[in-house]
Structure 1
Amino acid sequence: MKENKIKKYLLYAIGEIILVVIGILIAVSINNWKNAKNKKVVEQNLYGDLIQELQNDLSDVEGNRQYNSKYLARYAKASNIILHDSLRQLTDTLGIIATELIFFSDFKNEESAYSKLATSGQLELISNKEILMRLQNMGMLYSYINRLEKNQEQYMYSVVPKISEYIQMKPFQVMKPAELYDYKFHNDIEIMIMIGKEKDGLYTQAETDLRNLIKLLKTELN
């Protein structure tokens, strides 16, 4: 104070404070950059895992759609026999197809990728909101398909006793052909056809949605 150097010391102190603040800001920026980079790496790894999981789902859906289509054609043939085989020359064929009512596609995915991400708390790692929306929609579609699968399974159980009553399995012989050609059994077949057709539409939609979602994820990776 005697030498009137207060101003000089104040300027020096302010300069030191500014340097410290700048250093802190630089350190924070570097840390944020590292965190952002690490988050991006985690996100990219997550996308890779999702692509693999969704490709497995796609393969599963495709297989079930083909299986469903195979037996849809068989059920349609049985329906046609009942309607047009007035002489009952195709009784054995109808009986064989009747035993095939126990076969149906069964895509079971009760925990979608979206559900898994929500349960594990990883949804926040996905920055692309469109991906989140599509994953959520896939989860809802899976739930719809699963409900339809269960409905067909339950209805199938109501048909099995009739098949056991009308047909001797070994050696194969139709024991009650009149019941096979009756409108009640025809209704059973038509209901299975209705369910199968609805499932075919859902499988087709799932295939399209999965392919588009996988394509979007691959774009994010690139």
Structure 2
Amino acid sequence: MIKFFRKIRQNLLSEGKTEKYLKYAVGEIILVVIGILIALSINNWNENIKKVEQEKVYYCKIKEDLQTDIKNIQRGIKSLDERIVSAKKVLINLYQKVDDKSILLEGFIPAVRSYDFIPSKSAILDITSSGKLENFSNSKLKTSILQHYSDLEYLMNVLQQNQKGFSALSFKYEDFSAFGYHQIPLYKDNYGEELLSLMPNVNWQKDTENILFKQFQDHINMSVIISAREKELLKQILSSTVKLETELESNCNNSTK
């Protein structure tokens, strides 16, 4: 094609048709410019298609993380329900002043055991660290994504502070040995019968004025309160997660994975 155009130019010059040559040269330049513009447009079009497809892939990855979060939050709420049931049972036994302290200690761990919800954030961390989120074309959805993870960070901070304060109660008993940590079924086998027979066995559960009775009572009461609070926080996170997961549904093209 280049040889063809060159031959035409040479013929025009050899025939002395300068004016026609100039017109032809200008026309050739215009054709070249048009060709370049078309090539650039096609390239930009292809790049935009790649960006749109990549954006859909990211939506899918965020959606997968959210689906994992939904399952883990539901497990967390169930665990908190079980903790409340255990704590209430322990309190009933405490106020009924059971003779056998082991009945209280058997329910102690289930009544204070925590379930830590850890959000799945691999997708959003990858997107934000690479700066890709700023290029998302769907501004409304981008705002929803940013709002969700901002709210999640705040609620997770509240959850962690509550759990930290509650966990600290396990280490504030006046006298660990008198309390009977060594008699809790979970730890008992580690001591052995000989050592257990030598360690304190104080029936503080029968004395409402005993400091251990009061500390235990407060600890289990707080378990019910903190569990209820954590449930509400997890429900807020769950609501936000489900909402965003639903918004992503129509924007996630699973075929691009």
TM superposition score category, shorter chain reference: 0.7 to 0.9
Aligned residues: CA RMSD: 3.4
- Displacement of 1:204 in angstroms is 1.1
Partner of 1:32: 44
Partner of 2:146: 136
Does the C-alpha gap of structure 1 residues 124 and 110 become closer, same or farther in structure 2, counting only changes over 3 Å?
same
Partner of 1:190: 221
- Displacement of 1:23 in angstroms is 0.9
Q: Which residue of 79, 90, 97 maps to 1:88?
A: 97
Does the C-alpha gap of structure 1 residues 108 and 146 become closer, same or farther in structure 2, counting only changes over 3 Å?
farther
Amino acid at match of 2:34: I
| Pair 1:57-2:69 in alignment | yes
| Pair 1:145-2:156 in alignment | yes
Q: For this pair of structures, how many residues does the alignment match?
A: 218
- Displacement of 1:166 in angstroms is 2.3
Q: Please say which structure displays the higher CA radius of gyration.
A: 2
Partner of 1:218: 249
Does the C-alpha gap of structure 1 residues 194 and 41 become closer, same or farther in structure 2, counting only changes over 3 Å?
same
CA distance in 2, matches of 1:182, 1:77: 16
Q: Which residue of 159, 165, 175 maps to 2:178?
A: 165
Q: Which residue of 234, 237, 251 maps to 1:203?
A: 234
| Structure-1-length-normalised TM-score | 0.78
Amino acid at match of 1:192: S
Amino acid at match of 1:88: K
Amino acid at match of 2:232: G
Partner of 1:176: 204
Give percent identity, aligned residues only.
27
- Displacement of 1:220 in angstroms is 0.8
| Pair 1:120-2:130 in alignment | yes
CA distance in 1, matches of 2:144, 2:178: 47
CA distance in 1, matches of 2:115, 2:32: 68
CA distance in 1, matches of 2:122, 2:228: 23
Partner of 2:24: 12
Mapped contact 2:68–2:120 kept (Cα < 8 A):
no
- Displacement of 1:203 in angstroms is 1.2
Mapped contact 1:112–1:138 kept (Cα < 8 A):
no
Amino acid at match of 2:156: I
What do residues 93-122 of structure 1 show as CA deviations (whole Å, max 9, x unaligned)? 544333334411111238564333212333
| Structure-2-length-normalised TM-score | 0.69
| Pair 1:109-2:119 in alignment | yes
Does the C-alpha gap of structure 1 residues 140 and 198 become closer, same or farther in structure 2, counting only changes over 3 Å?
farther
Greater displacement, 175-184 / 66-75: 175-184
Unaligned 5+ residue runs, structure 2?
1-14, 189-195
CA distance in 1, matches of 2:245, 2:120: 20
